[in-house]
Structures are given as C-alpha cells and as structure tokens.
Structure 1
Amino acid sequence: IGPRAESIEMLGDKAQAKETMKEAGVPVIMGSDGAISNIHAAHTLARDLGYPVMVKASAGGGGRGIRIVHSDDELEAQMTAAKQEALACFGNDEIYIEKFIEDPKHIEIQILADNYGDVIYLGERDCSMQRRNQKVLEEAPSPASFMNEELRAKMGKAACTAAKVCGYRNAGTIEFLVDKNGEFYFMEMNTRIQVEHPITEAVTGVDLVKQQLLIASGQRLSIKQEDIKLSGHAIECRINAENPLLDFRPSPGKIKSLFIPGGPGIRVDTAVYQGYEIPPYYDSMIGKLIVHGKTREEAVAKMTWALSEFIVDGVATNVDFQLKLIRRPEFLEGNYDNGFLNRTDILADERSKE
C-alpha cells in the first residue's frame, strides 16, 4: 500500500524534488539547483537571493535540519548545524538553500492517484500553527483571507501535476508555502498518508484509508474531481505527552486515569488507555483530537468543549496549551502564519506565576 519506490526516491530528496517540480511548471521557491556544500557558493547564492534564506536538509522531514539565516556572518555556522542534524536524523547530511518567505502560510493539498493515471485533489489543509517547524494544530479548509475557490483550484491542479510528473500512486500530500498575496510555492511532497488526514475526511466525506486499499488492490478511482465538495469545517489538535511550561519537554510515564471526549462531530484517534506506559523513545504525540462543525465557529466551539473534557492524568500534556491557543484572537480570526507560535508566548501568565 503506497506509492512506487521510484516515486518515493524521486520525492525523498527535497532538492531533487524541487528541480522536478520546476521542470513541470509547478511554482517553486528560488534557491540552489540541488544540494550545496561549498561555503563560497553558498555565500554567493545567499547574497543573490537576498537574506533571510533557509538552509534545509535534502532528505529532511518533520521540521528537522532547517535553519533560517539572516546574514553572511551566520551562514557557515547554520549550515554546519543543519548538516549535523540532518546526518543524525536522516543519515544524509546534504543540504540546499532557498529564499525564506516571510510570514507565510503552510497549506497542503491532499491527493489520491490510482494506477491508471487518474489524480484528484481533496481540498486544502492549513498547517500554519507550528512550533519550531512542528505542526501543533491543523484545520480544513484554510481560514486565510486570501483562500477562495479560484486559488484552491489553482493549487489543486498544481498538486495533481506534481503527482503525475512523478508517476505517483495512492495517497499523498503536496505541501506549499503561500505568501500574503496568495502566491504559492512548492515546498515538498509527503509520500504517505499524514497525521492530519482526518480533517480532510471530515470535510469531504472520503475515507482516505479505504481509498488507499482500493487503489492498492488495482481498482480505478471511483471518485471524480467534480464529486469533491467541501462541507463545513474541521480542526485537529495534536495531543502530546509533553510539558509546555518546561519548554515542551517530553513527559513519559504511566497514564493513571483517562477520559476521552466524544459525541457528534468529535473523533479521537489514539492507542493509549488507562494504565498505558508512555515510553521515552518515540515522538511525544499520544493522540489526535478531531472535530467537525457546519461552520468554523461551530468547530471551534466543539474543540473548546472537547479539550475541556479531555483528561490524561499521570503525565503532563499539552491539552491546556491547545485550549488557550484556540481561544487566542489571532486564531479565532484565522490571522496567523507559520511563525505565530515562535513569536507568541501562549503561557506567559502561567510562567509569571512560576
């Protein structure tokens, strides 16, 4: 189940993927042609692009191996740090450089592709609520003021083109950065189903996992592009075993008591249970809380209630942090970008009490 090995290989190297998309006419961010290791070439390119620039791991993912560089003086040190992190995380220390787009939105397009060349897109997910390049909360459709049917269609068609040029099969996600003017740029493709896929299922009514199975069994897509209609609004909060008051330090341990909220339009994906021992070896995410409402306001209200009811006793979690986050005026207005959580101390009041 999943794409061909050749597609994974082609898209796994982000520098190579970027070149492939550029040749196919998909908008890309200006940057190096492939991996770059020579510091002199890096300085020349960064000056030509204009600071700030981003140094990124070619084999990266999950926000690892990324550094923002604001001046010539920082470049060599940040390249070294990115290469070291990339080697430790991915076994590959190749990096590339691209222009840093200030205050962008991170918007991704879900696609499905069968074995016969048919590709469809299923709307967008807004994944801009991030902390240190790690997604915290996602919603569909995007609440951005610039998002409309015309832009959604343009991004969707670009995503389908990206999938076709790679001979892609099964479920995948094309990730874009979108600036304040609604101009979008290819960032990467995730050759798998993603953590946040349930919000797309909620607003489209399409079971993405079922579609993966049908495609893998050799069936043609039975869903046409004109069948995809977005209904209502969905939000997902990632519930992590971590302590936000201690710089989000992981919080392994035994869950002493657990209450998982439920009800119409509320879904929780998790494998934990009362008495479960959260190990210290893996990602700190222990569950996904997904809500769906007829409107964004209804979805926010459901998420507020669900987070208020979510109890995980025995380990620290980010449940209260998420609750404070969705009450922020910037979130309620949909007025946030990738850097919002890096600029904003959601728990400032609690820290002052400490």
Structure 2
Amino acid sequence: MKYDLVVIGAGIQGAGVAQAAAAAGYTVLVLEQSTPAAGTSSKSSKLIHGGLRYLESAQFGLVRESLHERALLLKLAPELVKLQPLHIPVYKDSKRSPLTIRAGLSLYSVLSGCDSNAYFRSLPRSQWGELEGLKQDDLQAVFRYQEAQTDDAALTRAVLHSAMELGADCEIPGHFVRAHVNPASCLVEYQSEFGFKTASCRVLINCAGPWTSDVISGIEPDMYLPKVDLVKGSHLLLPPLLKDYFYLEAPQDKRAVFVLPWQGKLMVGTTEKMHYGAPEDAQCSLEERDYLLQVLLHYFPYLSIDMNQVDSFAGLRVLPRSDLNAFSRPREVLFEVDNEACPRVLSIMGGKLTTYRATALHALAKIKKSLPVKTRIADTSRIPLSPVNWH
C-alpha cells in the first residue's frame, strides 16, 4: 500500500498527527505495537492544563498555547475534559510567597486571554477549615483556580478514532521492523497479526515516545538523533481519602506535586527521576513512593494510609539532555528531520498531552514540502471528540 504518511505510535502525539493529517486530506497509516496510549499517554497526571509552573522558567509561549488548547478541548470534548478547582496552600516556609503565587495566577489569566475559566481567587481564612484535613499551622493563604482533568487514555482513543473516521488506516498490533529511505519515499516494513507487511509512504512520522531511538536505529541510511534523556514520572493511587484537588509544593525539594481525586481513587504525583533501562521496565520505585507519601502526609498529617492499598504507575518523558535537573528543563517539543530540504523522516519527541493538536499542526508544517497538495476535508479545531469503546 502507498500512503502519504506512516505514523509509528498511537500515543496522543501519534493519534494527533494522524487526525491532523487525515483532516488535511492526506492518506495515513498508523502502526501501534500494542494498544493506543499503552505507553506514556496513559501514565500522565490526567490534566489538560496550561502549565502554571512553566511561568517560573519564562516559557510564556508554551503556557499561552496550552491555555488556548485547554479552552478548545473543553468545548470539543466535554465528556472527556472537565474543569476542576485546584487549591494552592501557601505556608510561612513555602518557597513561593502569597504575592508570588498571586502574580503567577494573574499572569496565567492574562495569557489565557482573560478566559473566565482562568480566573482565580484567594479563599478567606474562614473557608480554610473546609479543605478536609489540610494542615493549618503557619498557613498564610489558599488560592483556588481551575484546571481541566481527563482520562488520558480515553482522550487518546477518541482522537485516534476521529483520525480513522477521517480515513486513516490503523494496524494494531503493528510492530515496526525497519524502514528504507530514499530521496523520493520510504519503504516501511512491519509485523502485523497477519504476518509481515510493507507500506510505502512519502514521510515517516516517528511518534514512538520513549521508543523513539529504537525506531531510528531501524532506519536506513542512518539518521542523527539528538541527545535526549528518559525521565520517569511516577504516581500513587490510594483510596479516596480526600475530596478536594490540590497543587502542592514538595517540602523536600520545592517541586510541584498534584493531589487529585481521579476515578474513585486519590492520585498523587509526579516524580522526576532519570530512567536508564528499557522503557517497558519503568515502574515506581520505593524511593519515589516514599517521597510522594511524605508530601501527602506533610500537608495532611492526620491521614491514615494502609500500605496494602497503595498502587502506582510510572511513565517516561523524553526531554533534551541537559545539565539542568528534570524539573527545570524546557518542555518544548523536539522535532528532528532527516533532511531539511525534503524531509522523509520526522521524529517527534516530548510534548504535552494538552497541546497534542498544536504539536500535530507544527509537525505537518515541518514536512509540508514533501507532501502533495491535497484538499482539506476537516478542521481539527472544530471536530468534536467523544468517548469510544476500543476492542
């Protein structure tokens, strides 16, 4: 079969590229070796958010884009993306003062275009006690603002289903084996449940996430891959001990940690630890579990936690290699092409769940010169997304 694009990986970035490409009128094949969102895209913090903490590293463009995409997804996917009130408690020993948090939330609102969903308020002291179990000693202020929560895997399936409705083909399972690139096209070899297959395409899009380098190693001739790190983010799932949503400052290292009710559980995360093994071996370590429990109990000291009821999951982020710690590194997406003049292979590394749609449009712009002129059949900013059953 001949396609304009072959997309490797059906996480949120691969699903987003497939949807955008199919909407633009291109023929698309998606290869996914297991199930949609089997990797990082089902192991996020489940938030569609602007990235309040990215303001500290002056990533204003990323925050603005994220807030725009959040507003769009609230309209396009109301069953999948819902606003929740997050609380930021500020204590005497917090790294960020009430004035700093207020300034950050004000800027957040401005970057949203003064969207009403980005408004915030400072809770009066009389309401602090209503935040079940929150430590009151040395509490100076509590801010309430809104972020959107989702089921990341369900959102990924909805986007992929939309791509298929627009005409994209999917091979699941479809395990990438190798690709041969020449100046005119790519020949992609893969293993399906029906045996060995090949597909020809104008451009190969590598959206394999933590497995990106594995895909690159299977491409001939050899391709350059920028130096990246795999950074593990672990979350805990506990019984529903709290009903409110919190954005906390870890006392150990001043990182941001979310404490969020999610699907009948209490989710606590995330960590940021370097991962050096195979991507599929990533799991929450005892050190990470203890770190997250310490954060939780620091703010909610009277919680009773049964360790037999503590579950966990871990996902991997792809970040540019740097001397900075993971928390401080930029979150912009990395795009790497084999040939700027006429790209045949594009690798997409990193990226946020929230901005998958914008990332997909950036990706298509990178490879436009290698694709034929087609008539657009849809606009992804107008396509509703609904939950789908996936078999």
Name the TM-score, length of structure 1 as normaliser: 0.25
Task: Choose between structure 1 and 2: higher helix proportion.
Answer: 1
Larger RCO (CA within 8 A; separation ≥ 6): 2
Name the TM-score, length of structure 2 as normaliser: 0.24
Structure whose CA Rg is larger: 2
